[in-house]
Amino acid sequence: MTEIPVEYRSKQPPMAKDAKIYVAGHRGMVGSAIVRELERQGYTNIITRTHKELDLTRQEAVEAFFAQEKPEYVFLAAAKVGGIVANQEALADFMYDNMTAWKNGVKKFEFLGSSCIYPRMAPQPMKESCLLTSELEKTNEAYALAKISGLKYCEFLNRQYGTDYISVMPTNLYGPNDNYHPTHSHVTHSHVLPALIRRFHEAKEQNLPYVTCWGDGSPLREFLYVDDLANLCVFLMNNYSGNETVNAGTGKELTIKELTEKVAKIVGYNGEIRWDPSKPNGTPRKLLDVSKSKAMGWEPKTSLDEGIRLTYHDFLTNPMRAER
């Protein structure tokens, strides 16, 4: 195994297999993958709560939970999804969860964000250091600000109180438990891959002669299989300490046209793929610089083709997700 550079090494030993680990958001795509990965690695004391059991926006309930359970490690994969207003309201929630963890003596806390935190015109591929160097993309500014506030608050707690809080910023994710809602496969949409799976599956079922996609298919995008992200999250919890976030990606990109053709082939749709150039393309390129995780000896294991096959299998065998 690659020796981790001294500036990134964890301040404390890896998690014990029986350590009390709280995964917030365990029903979501990322949270469920983290639980799967922890179980795969032999961790035996994983705590979860549904939203009904614990509303993370309720201060008193969160304080009572942390005081009673005293988790040693926390993965904050809970996400508030619901448009700009909900995302603006979430800003305080993220910061409050971080503070509650500190007050209750959590050994290590991992905050999960999104690559949308980086400036709209950030140099490609985007390094962790480009955060807050220029303006954000206006269409997801509220969500990006909420995530930036959470990760910066982790940094400030580290500096003021000597905590060991870290953050991870994934690229576009896909995999089991994704949202297959039938959107217009708009390339700026983070759920473009599952949306394509559903559209091509339904086109195949209905024997449609063609499927029309937005734009001209030229934008470049990067995709990371969610179980690979979960593997990185556990790896970082055990091996990394630092105030700067860590990018989670593959370092590889492909055009939306290439992605669309891959999905159609794997799903088994043989009709025509048409493009509507009157619709927007979105940002021409969004690629993360993954040299930091690579320097620590971590790389993703799942190829895009294999990941799409696994995700399509999830779509076919998980009716609740297919109905969303």
User: What residues contact 197, with CB distance under 8 A and at least 6 apart?
Assistant: 180, 263, 267, 308, 311, 312, 315
List alpha helices for 207-295, DSSP H. 226-239, 256-267, 291-295
Compute, in degrees rounded to 10, the torsion defined by CA atoms 249, 253, 255, 260. Answer: -50
Which residues have a Cβ under 8 Å from the Cβ of 113 and sit 6 or more positions away? 147, 148, 150, 151, 167, 168, 169, 170, 245
Q: Are 180 and 321 in contact (CB under 8 A)?
A: yes
Distance CA 68, CA 22 (A): 12
Indicate if 312 belongs to the active site: no
Q: How far apart are CA 300 and CA 114, in angstroms?
A: 17
Distance CA 313, CA 60 (A): 41
Contact 34, 69 (CB under 8 A): no
Q: How far is CA 82 from CA 61, 86, 143, 170, in A?
A: 22, 5, 10, 19
| Residue of 22, 96, 143, 174 marked active site | 143
**Token duo for residue 46:** 């994983």
Q: Both tokens of residue 15?
A: 């998690």
Q: What is the 3-state secondary structure (H, E, C) of 152-197?
A: HHHHHHHHHHCCCEEEEEECEEECCCCCCCCCCCCCCCCCHHHHHH
> Which residues are bridge partners to 168 per DSSP?
112, 246
Per DSSP, what are the bridge partners of residue 276? Answer: 214
**Residues noted as catalytic:** 143
